[in-house]
Amino acid sequence: MFNLILFGPPGSGKGTQSEKLIAKYGLKHLSTGDLLRSEIAQQTALGLEAKKIMDKGHLVPDEVVIGMISSALDANPDAKGFLFDGFPRTAAQAEALDKLLDLKKTSINVMLALEVSEEELVKRLLKRGETSSRSDDTNEAVIRQRIAVYHSKTAAVADYYKGFDKAVYLKGEGTVEEIFGRICGEVDSRL
């Protein structure tokens, strides 16, 4: 199995690059943001609770997203590998993921972190907010709050993987194709 974490702040291109990576490498895409938005669309109790938190730019509780990832891993026993997008986002989530993968006799191969300046992130997300249905993209204050949460809670997740020599930083600015090329170079050297 090949298990990859695509890491980076809101708007760094995780979702955009994930689409291309799953097509090329046949990995199963697990995005906690997408899973939460699907709960919101279905108006489940979990989705309604999560929406209130997401609209403020805060993180949904660890146990909620860990439970979602655990179910998704169980639901895909034949996957060639997983691409984690937007997860893990806290040190507790990273530790829980290692335990879940250990139970399945597998582990994370590499964490690729996309680096993008804050002004570029805000620009990209405000632009998407003009047309998307994501309510957390329409307001600059919420976008900046999401970036602040990334620095205060999520950036430390990279240190966790650095400790295992599994963290690689890549320039996340340039064209989508240029960035995809950088990511594929790192993946191919580890396959």
Considering the complex, state which of residue 60 and residue 72 has its C-beta at the smaller distance from ligand AP5: 60
Q: Is 182 a catalytic residue?
A: no
User: Which residues, 6+ apart, have CB-to-CB distance to 74 below 8 Å?
Assistant: none
Based on the shown chain and the rule CB under 6 A, indicate whether residue 10 belongs to the binding site for ligand AP5. yes
3: left (phi over 0), alpha (psi -120 to 50) or beta: beta
Q: Which is nearer to ligand AP5, 20 or 162 (CB)?
A: 20
Q: CA 14 to CA 147: how far, in whole Å?
A: 14
Q: For residues 11 and 160, which CB has a smaller minimum distance to ligand AP5 in the complex? A: 11
Q: Does 81 bind Mg ion (CB under 5 A)?
A: no
CA distance 182 to 177: 9
- CA–CA separation, 7 and 170 (whole Å): 10
Choice from 21, 27, 30, 36 touching ligand AP5 (CB under 6 A): 36
Residue 81 is a binding residue for ligand AP5 (CB under 6 A): no
How far apart are alpha carbons 35 and 78 in whole angstroms?
20
Establish whether 128 is a catalytic residue. Answer: yes
Which residue of 2, 4, 13, 110 would you call a contact of ligand AP5, by CB under 6 A? 13
Out of 22, 46, 53, 100, the only residue in the binding site for ligand AP5 (CB under 6 A) is: 53
- Alpha carbon 94 to its chain centroid, in Å, reads 12
**Catalytic residue numbers?**
14, 89, 128, 134, 146
**Chain positions contacting Mg ion, by CB under 5 A:** 14-15
